[in-house]
Every structure is written in structure tokens, then in C-alpha cells.
Amino acid sequence: MRSASAYRLYGASHSLYTGKARCYLRNQGLPYVELPTWHPDFAERIVPQIGRGIIPVLETPEGQVIQDTIDIIDHLEAQGVPWPVYPQTPLQRIVAIIIEYYGGQVMLKHAMHYRWSYREEQEAFLRTAFTLGSGPQMAEQIMGRMNSYLPRLGVNAESIPLIEASFLQLLDRLEQHFAEWPYLLGSQPSIADYGLIGPMFAHLGRDPVPLAIMQRRAPRVHRWVERMTSPGLDVVEYPQTEPAFVPNDQLPPTLIPVLKHIAEDAFPELTDKLAFLDAWVAELNPADGTPVTDKPQLRQVGMVQTRFRGSVIEVGVEPYLLYVLQRATDTLEALPDASRELVQAQLAEVGLLEAVGLGRRWRVARRNNIEVWEMPATAY
């Protein structure tokens, strides 16, 4: 029986973005039931409302249907939750959103590489997960499609050793941080933690090959994964148990190496993707409200050649990345000049300034659960 006050989360246990939403619901103590995509309601009621087969989807007790983890979390934040995830100070807020972008976009390389490049070693586990999540008829089809995404993510023979070295380095730097703090920005989870937990749980902290690496090399990171997937705030090992972000808009010193690592992974790929999108919009000048792609199930508008830690890769460009990062840019733009310059200098110190470029007039919005171009009104 469905509780009259329970949310419904449509997703899958092995889904990166479902994991992000699930952790939020659990940590905040919100009542929910999780349903798989093979539940008849998903095809009969949910897909017609969102216009494509995509997860996760949250259905509220009032019947509102919300797709996308940003929209889901922002909706729930607006209802009031015990531990709001957006820091109220500008540097922490911007950094948290950039980390969210890193987890949900940049770390797709790490997550998908370890899942599919090691498929033979993990076949029984993966097949069981996809069968339970999608049903036996769809499992093989979905596994094949997911496997085929690797080249468009920049996973190739040259980049694979660099992706694996990046994962090990990230584990080492996070291990040092979690020796001091239970969460990335202090003693309560921020949007940064929810962005990072997506790949770090569903793929890297659950699939057998990367899970074994995490458990052996970075036990505190593995403990953070457990913490993020537990009800409430599971901070029993830490003396500072009062939920709060680090005061005075400071960043924990142990987070600085993590941020520099993020910059090394994210650039120049992010710069090249943004340049591609700027040129694409300038050439085609889409009308306001036009979907970003011809078909809702397509997420990319083209391919761009770039580099990952010096290795040449070719990656697909998703306008959605702007939807993620715009919130950081909006925060920066709203600051007085002196405060903005200070935050920009702090971001530059860790190599992340270019993630919040100013001056772009067009945006990516979401209307009726679909990404659309949001263009400035023409002045007459």
C-alpha cells in the first residue's frame, strides 16, 4: 500500500542519479518508496508526463512529477528539510555546485570505465543489477547501450590509465579530508556531497572491482559512502556532531587538494565544451523555449576534441552542463564588486575560476521536465 504522505522515487539501485536522489531522501528523513522502471505506473503514467524514459523521477504525495536530481532536490529544499544543502555564503555555495558538477558530469568517465571496461570480472553482478532494475527483457538491451557510451565520454586506450590514476588520487585526497570532517564542507552534507555520491556509490562504491579498490585504499571514503546512504546524519565517529558548514565562508584546508584535483580533471574539457556551446548558439540562434535537442531522449548536440590530463579525447557536449553550473554563476554575479573579486581570486587559487564564467546571456532552462534554450528578449 502506498502511504498517503510518502514520495515515490522511480529509479534503479545501480543508477548514478537515482543514488543521488535516494541519499537525499534518506538523509533528510523523508518518507518514500522506491519503484523500478518496470513498474506499470512508470510506463503508463510517468513517461507520458516527462516525455522520455529517464530516471530518477520523483512523484510527490500530491501527484506532482519531477525529473532530474537538481529539480528534485530544489523542490524538496523549498518544502523545508532538516539540513539544507546549499551554503548561504558565496564561496562555499559556488564550490559546492562545482563539486556537484564534477560528480555528475566529469566523473562519468571514472564510473562508466570501471563498470564496463571490467565487465567480464563483474558480469554476474551487473546482469543481476540490471535485471532487477529493468526486468530480464530489457536488461541486455540497456547494458549494451550503456557500454556503447564509453567513447563519447572520452574513455579510450590512451585515457584509461589516466582515468584510473585519477580515481586513485581522488581516493587518497578524500581519505585525508574525511579523517577530519564527515562531509565535504563540514559536519552536514551539502549539494557537493550529493553530487559526488552519485558515482561514488552507484558505480565506484558498489560494483565489485572499484569497490574493492575503495575498501582497500580509502576506508574512510568507503565509510563516507555508507554515511551518505544511511538515514539521518551518521557521524558517530566525529566529535563535531552539531550539523553545520565550516564558519565564515571558509573552505576546510583538507578540501583544497580535492578541489585542485577536480580542476585537473575538469579542464580543459569544460572550457572546450563551453566554447562549443557558445559557437553552436551563435550560429543557430535557437528560439526561446526550443528544446536543446531534436529528440528529448538525446542529450548531446555534438562532439568536441579536447584533453583529459594530457590525453586526446573526443567527447559529447551536453547543454545540461550549463543547467548545473548556472547556479554558481548566478551566485557570483549577484555579489557586490569587491566580494565578487575576492571569490574569483579564491576560485583561481584552486584552478576553478573558469567554471563560473560571467557574461553569457543565453541559458539552459527546464520546462515540463525537458531542457530548453532560454534566450534573451530582443530589444526593439
pLDDT (average), residues 109-130: 93
Average pLDDT, the chain: 94
**SS in 3 state form for the chain?**
CCCCCCEEEECCCCCHHHHHHHHHHHHCCCCEEEECCCCHHHHHHHHHHHCCCCCCEEECCCCCEEECHHHHHHHHHHHCCCCCCCCCCHHHHHHHHHHHHHHHHHCHHHHHHHHHCCHHHHHHHHHHHHHHHHCHHHHHHHHHHHHCCHHHHCCCCCCHHHHHHHHHHHHHHHHHHHCCCCECCECCCCHHHHHHHHHHHHCCCCCHHHHHHHHHHCHHHHHHHHHHCCCCCCCCCCCCCCCCECHHHCCCHHHHHHHHHHHHHHCCHHHHHHHHHHHHHHHHCCCCCCECCCCCCCCCCEEEEEEECCEEEEEEECCHHHHHHHHHHHHHHCCCHHHHHHHHHHHHHCCCHHHHCCCCCCEEEEECCEEEEECCCCCC
Residue among 179, 181, 228 at smallest CA distance from 202: 228
Residue among 370, 264, 267 at smallest CA distance from 320: 370
Residue 62: pLDDT band with limits 50, 70, 90: very high
Predicted confidence (pLDDT) per residue in 146-156, tens digit: 888 899 999 99
Q: Is the pLDDT confidence value at 276 over 90?
A: yes
Entry pTM: 0.95
Q: Is the pLDDT confidence value at 4 over 70?
A: no
Predicted confidence (pLDDT) per residue in 73-83, tens digit: 999 999 999 99
**CA gap 30, 6 in Å, rounded:** 8
By the 10 Å C-beta count (0-12 exposed, 13-18 middle, 19+ buried), 74 is classed as middle
**CA gap 138, 187 in Å, rounded:** 41
pLDDT (average), residues 225-239: 95
Query: Between these two residues, 18 and 380, which has the higher pLDDT value?
Result: 18
Q: How many residues does the chain have?
A: 380
Residue 5: pLDDT band with limits 50, 70, 90: confident
**CA gap 68, 15 in Å, rounded:** 13
Q: Is the pLDDT confidence value at 133 over 80?
A: no
Q: Which residues pair with 33 in a beta bridge?
A: 8
Checking DSSP bridges between strand 57-59 and strand 65-67, what pairing results, if any?
antiparallel
Q: Is the pLDDT confidence value at 2 over 50?
A: no
Angle at 76 between CA 71 and CA 82, to 5 degrees: 140
Checking DSSP bridges between strand 32-35 and strand 302-308, what pairing results, if any?
unpaired
Which range among 28-32, 135-139, 365-369 shows the weakest confidence by mean pLDDT?
135-139
Residue 378: pLDDT band with limits 50, 70, 90: low
pLDDT (average), residues 346-369: 95
pLDDT at 56: 97
Residue 93 in contact with residue 335, Cβ under 8 Å? Answer: no
Domains, the chain: 7-79 (3.40.30.10), 90-265 (1.20.1050), 269-374 (no CATH)
pLDDT (average), residues 342-364: 96
